Structure 1
Amino acid sequence: MLKNYFKIAWRNLRRNKLRTSIHILGLSIGIAICFLISNVVTHSYSFDQFHPDKERIYRINTLTDWGDGGSFPNSGTPGPLGEVIEDEISGIETKGKLYTMYETLVALPSRDKVFGRSNEVTFADPGFFRIFPRVWLAGNPETALIQPESLVITEESLHKYFPGSDAADVLGQELMFVDSDSIYAKVTGVIADFTHNTDFIFRDFISYSTIRTPEQLDWYGLHDWSSVNSSSQLFVKLALGITPESVDESFKALVTKNMEAGDDGEYNTSFFAEPLADMHFVPNYGNSGVSKTFLNGLIYIGLLILVLATLNFVNLETAQAISRSKEVGIRKTIGGTRFQLITQFLAETFLIVLCSTILALALVEGIKVLFESYLPEDFRIDYFSFFNLLFYAAFPLLLSLVTGIYPALILSNYDPQRALKGELIKTGKFSVGVFLRKNLTVIQLSSSIAFIILVLVLNYQLKYVTSQPLGFDKEAVMYANVPFMSDPDKMLQLQDRFNQEAIVQSASLSGSLVSSTSLWTSDAYVPVDTTEKEIYIQVMNVDSAFVRVNGIPLLAGSDGIDREEEILVNEQFVKEAGFASVEEAVGTVIRYSDEKVKIIGVVADFHSRTLREGIRPLLFTYNPTYFQTVNVKLNSDQNLAAAKERLEQIYLTVYPYESASFNFLDTQIERFYQEDVKIKNVLGFACALAILISCLGLFGLSSFTIAQRTKEISIRKVLGASLQQILFLISKEYMILVGVSFLIAVFPAYYFLNEWLNGFNTRVEMPYLIFAAAGLGVMVICLLIVGIHSYVASQTNPAKVLKSE
């Protein structure tokens, strides 16, 4: 019997090729999107879920509250916290400490090999491997990281540093790590690489006890409670039955005992436990972190696209039910039960869903290629994973049931006598089918309109912010990082070499770019009568050429900052300090970092960060020891590719062991809004799919419903109705549906856009004309589809249609 159901279902699908094609294409799009998004979400939530007792592992974070200045969470903790946490906080089973290092030069002195700079080096204590156990290939896990200058490396590092060697053979070998100073560490252990997804990218673990002198503790910021550095990380495993909330509460007493509020009580510090499962969704170890908001948005979009495809199916099937009424009547007359009819129609639906699923898997690869840059770098789809095998088995069955049950119930419920006579619609009576079809069409159209509004307004705002003047010249400016804590004389040598080049207009050194995501904040104190006025400021470390290289207008004084007791400030600083003019500010001595410094110049305000934020009071200071960036302004009309290659050649002559990579400043600034661009492009893709699915549904629905009105159209033509009257008569209903859809779409679109736009300090006013344009656009598309079908129907010869009447 089941075989017979599928055989008949296959014949019906082949007979109605247009209907089948519309169903398969619409559903395959929805299934492909859901399959890809479910794999992306599963991948994102899989990180570090393989560790034993993972639900009891937490990272301790610091929260600094500046009141009106905002709250700033930090994944780091003060160094002393790691020393006392087990004694001061009850319920801590194990603690583990990391101090992550940045751009550390790695070398093998015995073979005179330099491996370049690495971000995969960290200090770690033995507790870290108790919380995150590894497979040890050589060495003793209990003692490997106890002694200073001890080193544990992974299997990957083993093959990199000692190719061809066994793990046991490299024990005792010495590696050199150059950070603030040179560290010579001996290999005391070799561990296997993680084979599962993890955020812990580290390959070289230096014993934490290596940081032991007062000078080292001071340098790494581990000496007091007021120093919070994101590199200093503290992990804990809680005892059974201990909740993170109780730990967070215990931190309050610890803060009261060991820490004081900032000067004059301007900020407060607290600690909180972050679950290991949440680590992947915040910036970590060079990774920007996966946005949970973006992931949730993908889930909603995927479900919405699938719902639209499902509604498409239901809408078209219920509309075409009348064409199968005689089939139902005959089946019931010869003894077919309602259950058999429902099974028959569900079999047809299952075949459609099965074909759609097969097509969807092919579409997934195309969508992956299209959005490759939006997917995680290490993202791969394992088509034979347990989750995907479950998807193949369960999803088609579930979707067949959800999609096909209502049409099957409608079809199987027809009365055989009335069905055979074609008396399915009672004139003047309320029709559930017609009511449902109209509402499903409204849902589809309103979703399309909402998507169009969102995409157009996002694009409008992003174009607006990227076209705004930033207050500096970003064109033809290139930059590269210089080695951390490099010799200042070497940095000056590099700067001089660049300035000697004909292609270079000027070069400067600084701690950061003129506009970046980095933020260094502090306090400055301006004398006012007999007291001081405190100003919460942003700080940038620059040299005397920085203002000139970046084209920042100088309003007063000099930009030649070349001494630590001299500073430059911006207009916003002058305003908040209460100076009557920029000229009055020049020469004033203020207090900054507990030192007296003199304002020698005032620059115009410029956007040192994204336009989501306002311009802060800014202070330029001079500290060449901490310069990390070289900025180069090229002369006009240069071959940029050749200029980049030449700059990198010069860089390598000064720093032969470094990797030279110059980038353009304007490219970096564009990255400020890459998350917004991703959202816009994903919404744009979803918008296109929503419109496509809606158009497919509207095409099928209008072709069928107009076919049902062919006799009515012919009679009206015989009675003298013009083509325009017929087109208006048929299109009027759809115009009303689009109008209702527009009203429904406006409110959620406005709510989302208002929230998003409020996140920008520089923003457009709500562009209501775009709302209207989106509604009109959908109406035009709708009228084109309906109009074409109506026109074809109206051109049919009435004599052919009415000859049997």
Structure 2
Amino acid sequence: MFTNYLKTAWRNLFKSKVSSIINISGLAVGMAVAILIALWVYDEVSYDTYHKNYDRIVQVMQHQLFNGKYETQMSNPYVMAEEIRRTYGNGFKYVIQSSWNYDHGLVYGDKIILQAGSFMEPEMVDMLSLKILAGSKDGLREMNSIILSQSVATAIFGKEDPIGKMVRVDNKSNVKVTAVYEDLPDNTSFRQLTFVLPWQLYLSQNQWIKQMETPWGSNFTQTYAQVADNVDIETLSKRIRDVKLNKTAAEDKQYKPIVFLHPMRKWHLYEQWKEGINTGGRIETVWLFGIIGIFVLLLACINFMNLSTARSEKRAKEVGVRKTIGSNRKQLVVQFFSESVLTAVIAFVFSILLVSLIMPFFNSVADKKMAIPWLNPLFWLIGICLSILTGLLAGVYPALFLSSFQPVKVLKGTYRVGRFASLPRKVLVVAQFTISIVLIIGTIIVYKQINLGMQRPIGYVRDGLISHDISEVKHKHFEALRSELKNSGAVVEMAESGSPTTGVWNTNGGFDWEGKDPNFAVDFPNNANTWEYGKTIGWKIKQGRDFSREFASDSTAFILNESAVAFMGLKDPIGKIIHWNKKPYHIIGVVEDMLVQSPYKPVRAALWHISTDPENLFIMKMNPTWSVNRALAKIESIFKKYDPASPFKAQFADEQFAEKFDNEKRIGQLSTFFAILAVFISCLGLFGLTSFMAEQRVKEIGIRNVLGASMMSIWQLLSKDFILLVCLSCLIAIPIASYYMHTWLQKYDFRTDISWWVFALSAGGALVITLITVSFQAIKAALANPVKSLRTE
């Protein structure tokens, strides 16, 4: 019996080729979208699960009261880890200190490479469950040691055995390779951890750490931990909340630090904080695209339902004959379900091919390294189940509808589908285009938001601005480097800086000024730089003057941005005194606000001062008359002259600034991609329905042609219903899209408006697409030869 159902279903597919092609195409595209989104969602929700102790690993973080609001930060005092171990050790299996992950130069023989790594305590190997491929997992217990990822070991040593080999790091320390571990996957928070150095080596290289007068007052390390088995993370988090408050100096208690544990399972999806409260994060995008995937697949199912019920009169006699010779309704339902499931299975095969073709593009847009899990039985089981479920969903209404025909009426020719038979199809068409228009509106608003951020004035000249990490050797030769680079013509100006122009790497408290409430805790970005910093980046002086080597007093001077002047309530700020840790600094200038952090948030109050200590970065302005490649080659050759053991890597300010829009761009590009596919699926359905209507009314159109009807009148006959349905879809979609996009925009301090033209453009675009889709069949029907149309069988 089952074989007979399949044979009949196969014959019916070939019998209605156009309808079958439309159904299979629509379902294939819908299922491809569903598969892509399912793989993306799985990659997101499985983030960090590579680590065996994933559900017990936490990061120690803190909320602190700055400028009247609680701010959340990952950095901690270096003494916090030891204090937690000493006081709350029974609640933890491991408590580990770590530096920030950043680029280091690794030298072996004549090979020099730049890779990202961290200084960490040796227990991290067990905590992160690194898979040691060679050497000892206890290798980090030796102070002058290093463990490498497999890819870095291969890049440095090739086919040589790396264990026991010596590598020089940052031209400072010679360390021995004691282990090689498996490369970490792309969907882990430690994916850029390509090597690890011992924490004790970090302390030995930075003697200032142990010499700090107030070690609880400086936050510059990260603290990770693994909670002991059978210990509740939330309960333990509440126990340690005052670990810093109890130890901090009296003058720092105004910051009211609250220490807490942030579980690894929330690092990726719940990474956003506002005034000490976790406000979500990427989980919103996961839900968004998960829902989009369901809706796009639903669009394809709607096509199937529409075309199947539209052809009900053609199948009516078949149902009548089957019932007359003894088929019951249950058998007919199974028959129609067999057809829809077979269609869905064929569509699934094509969807896998589509996914294979689209995956490289999808990965580049989504910033992923996903692949179809060809050898995973679970994937195929889920795929088959998805096909069956899609087939059942697409076929449920046609099966119940077609199997309900009464054989007597059908075979007598008295069966009529009824005046309301087309109502369900119209409802489904409206639903299709409502979803499509909502996606179109959402996509436009996302790009409007991106454009708003990109159009904000940045307050400095970004073009040709590059940065490069500082080494101790280069810092010692800063003046010679600057002079030679400028004389070469490759560089217009150069300075040292504690932070890039596109980020804040250092903030400070301890500021006091006339009129400040002594109990009000403040924290400002406070960038240390050399005298030429302003000339290098081209900031805009609004009041006063820039730093100058001609004024020795500039060593105790501040330049403020406009936000700082407003925040401090300073009138005529030039010459006013700001005390920093009780030391007086005078204000010499005010610069226009520079867009350093998020382009969707207000500019923070910030200060700049002169420093002669080694900073983090060289900032250089390349000569605009030179080509980029020529300038970089010249700059690299001069740097190599002074420090040949350090690799050269230039960071472009415009590229770093563009990264600030990555998340919104990703949402916009994926939304565009899904919106195009949704419209394509909807148009496939319209094309099929228009084809059927033209075929169903072929004699009517022929008579109208004979009686002199114009092509325009016949076009209107076939098009007006669909145009009305799309207009109705617009009326439904606009308030839905407006509500959800307004909610999405609320997370931004600077947000675009939802203009009327967005809705007009989306509605107009939907109507144009509908007219193009419908007009092909309508015009074809109008131009058909009426003699052929009116010929009797």
TM-score after normalising by structure 1: 0.87
**Which shifted more, 36-45 or 693-702?**
36-45
Change (3 A) 1:721 1:249: same
Q: Does 1:13 align with 2:13?
A: yes
**Which shifted more, 618-627 or 86-95?**
86-95
Return the letter of the residue paired with 1:302: G
Q: Does 1:502 align with 2:489?
A: yes
Kindly, what percent of the aligned residue pairs are identical? Answer: 25
2:98 aligns with: 99
What is the rounded CA distance, in whole Å, between the counterparts of 1:21 and 1:591 in structure 2? 76
2:61 aligns with: 61
Instruction: Verify the 8 A CA contact 1:326 1:419 in the aligned structure 2.
Output: yes
Alignment of 1:432-451 (within 5 A): 433-451=421-439
Instruction: Verify the 8 A CA contact 1:507 1:631 in the aligned structure 2.
Output: yes
Change (3 A) 1:325 1:597: same
What is the rounded CA distance, in whole Å, between the counterparts of 1:675 and 1:353 in structure 2? 34
Q: Does 1:558 align with 2:545?
A: yes
SS of residue matched to 2:240: helix
What is the rounded CA distance, in whole Å, between the counterparts of 1:166 and 1:88 in structure 2? 43
What is the rounded CA distance, in whole Å, between the counterparts of 2:321 and 2:778 in structure 1? 32
Alignment of 1:654-665 (within 5 A): 654-665=642-653
What is the rounded CA distance, in whole Å, between the counterparts of 1:560 and 1:190 in structure 2? 49
The answer for unaligned runs of 5 or more in structure 1 is none
Structure 1 position 248, deviation (Å): 1.8
**1:725-756 CA distances to partner (integer Å, 9 max, x unpaired)?**
55445433323322221122112321233234
2:469 aligns with: 482
2:406 aligns with: 415
Instruction: Verify the 8 A CA contact 2:242 2:258 in the aligned structure 1.
Output: no
Alignment of 1:196-275 (within 5 A): 198-200=188-190, 201-202=192-193, 204-210=195-201, 216=207, 218=209, 224-229=215-220, 231-240=221-230, 242-259=231-248, 263=252, 265=254, 267-275=255-263
2:277 aligns with: none
**Which shifted more, 756-765 or 361-370?**
756-765
**Which shifted more, 686-695 or 97-106?**
97-106
Alignment of 1:82-121 (within 5 A): 82-89=81-88, 92-100=91-99, 102-107=102-107, 115-121=112-118
**1:755-802 CA distances to partner (integer Å, 9 max, x unpaired)?**
344444544432112202211221232233334433443445666656
Change (3 A) 1:585 1:744: same
Structure 1 position 206, deviation (Å): 4.0
Instruction: Verify the 8 A CA contact 1:559 1:601 in the aligned structure 2.
Output: yes
**1:343-386 CA distances to partner (integer Å, 9 max, x unpaired)?**
32222222222221121122112212323422445433331223
1:739 aligns with: 727
Instruction: Verify the 8 A CA contact 1:124 1:205 in the aligned structure 2.
Output: no
Change (3 A) 1:679 1:199: closer
What is the rounded CA distance, in whole Å, between the counterparts of 1:529 and 1:333 in structure 2? 94
SS of residue matched to 1:225: helix
Q: Does 1:128 align with 2:119?
A: no
What is the rounded CA distance, in whole Å, between the counterparts of 1:62 and 1:356 in structure 2? 51
1:537 aligns with: 524
1:613 aligns with: 601
Structure 1 position 612, deviation (Å): 0.6
Change (3 A) 1:677 1:209: closer
Structure 1 position 440, deviation (Å): 0.9
**Which shifted more, 682-691 or 757-766?**
757-766
Return the letter of the residue paired with 2:227: K
Alignment of 1:571-720 (within 5 A): 571-580=562-571, 584-713=572-701
Q: Does 1:472 align with 2:460?
A: yes
Change (3 A) 1:223 1:398: farther
Return the letter of the residue paired with 1:441: V
Change (3 A) 1:159 1:17: closer
Alignment of 1:242-391 (within 5 A): 242-259=231-248, 263=252, 265=254, 267-281=255-269, 291-376=282-367, 378-391=369-382
Change (3 A) 1:262 1:7: farther
Instruction: Verify the 8 A CA contact 2:495 2:620 in the aligned structure 1.
Output: yes
Structure 1 position 308, deviation (Å): 1.0
Change (3 A) 1:544 1:196: closer
**1:670-722 CA distances to partner (integer Å, 9 max, x unpaired)?**
22212211111111111111111111001111221343334445566677766
SS of residue matched to 1:258: coil
Instruction: Verify the 8 A CA contact 2:203 2:209 in the aligned structure 1.
Output: no
Instruction: Verify the 8 A CA contact 2:93 2:226 in the aligned structure 1.
Output: yes
Return the letter of the residue paired with 1:250: R
Structure 1 position 342, deviation (Å): 2.3
Change (3 A) 1:140 1:355: closer
What is the rounded CA distance, in whole Å, between the counterparts of 1:203 and 1:466 in structure 2? 33
Change (3 A) 1:788 1:421: farther
2:37 aligns with: 37
What is the rounded CA distance, in whole Å, between the counterparts of 2:213 and 2:47 in structure 1? 29
What is the rounded CA distance, in whole Å, between the counterparts of 1:533 and 1:245 in structure 2? 30
What is the rounded CA distance, in whole Å, between the counterparts of 1:680 and 1:513 in structure 2? 27
Structure 1 position 117, deviation (Å): 4.1
What is the rounded CA distance, in whole Å, between the counterparts of 1:194 and 1:451 in structure 2? 38
Return the letter of the residue paired with 1:574: V
**1:63-89 CA distances to partner (integer Å, 9 max, x unpaired)?**
334374452232x43333322334533
The answer for unaligned runs of 5 or more in structure 2 is 273-279
What is the rounded CA distance, in whole Å, between the counterparts of 2:517 and 2:76 in structure 1? 38
Structure 1 position 207, deviation (Å): 4.0
Structure 1 position 609, deviation (Å): 2.9
**Which shifted more, 34-43 or 250-259?**
250-259
Instruction: Verify the 8 A CA contact 1:471 1:552 in the aligned structure 2.
Output: yes
Instruction: Note the aligned Cα RMSD (angstroms).
Output: 3.6
SS of residue matched to 1:627: coil
What is the rounded CA distance, in whole Å, between the counterparts of 1:150 and 1:637 in structure 2? 46
What is the rounded CA distance, in whole Å, between the counterparts of 2:744 and 2:482 in structure 1? 42
| 2:182 aligned to which of 176, 182, 193 | 193
Return the letter of the residue paired with 1:537: F
Structure 1 position 122, deviation (Å): 2.2
What is the rounded CA distance, in whole Å, between the counterparts of 1:780 and 1:312 in structure 2? 20
Structure 1 position 723, deviation (Å): 5.1
Alignment of 1:391-430 (within 5 A): 391-425=382-416, 427=418
SS of residue matched to 2:525: strand
Change (3 A) 1:214 1:673: closer
Change (3 A) 1:137 1:731: closer
Change (3 A) 1:574 1:12: same
Change (3 A) 1:81 1:309: same
Structure 1 position 724, deviation (Å): 4.6
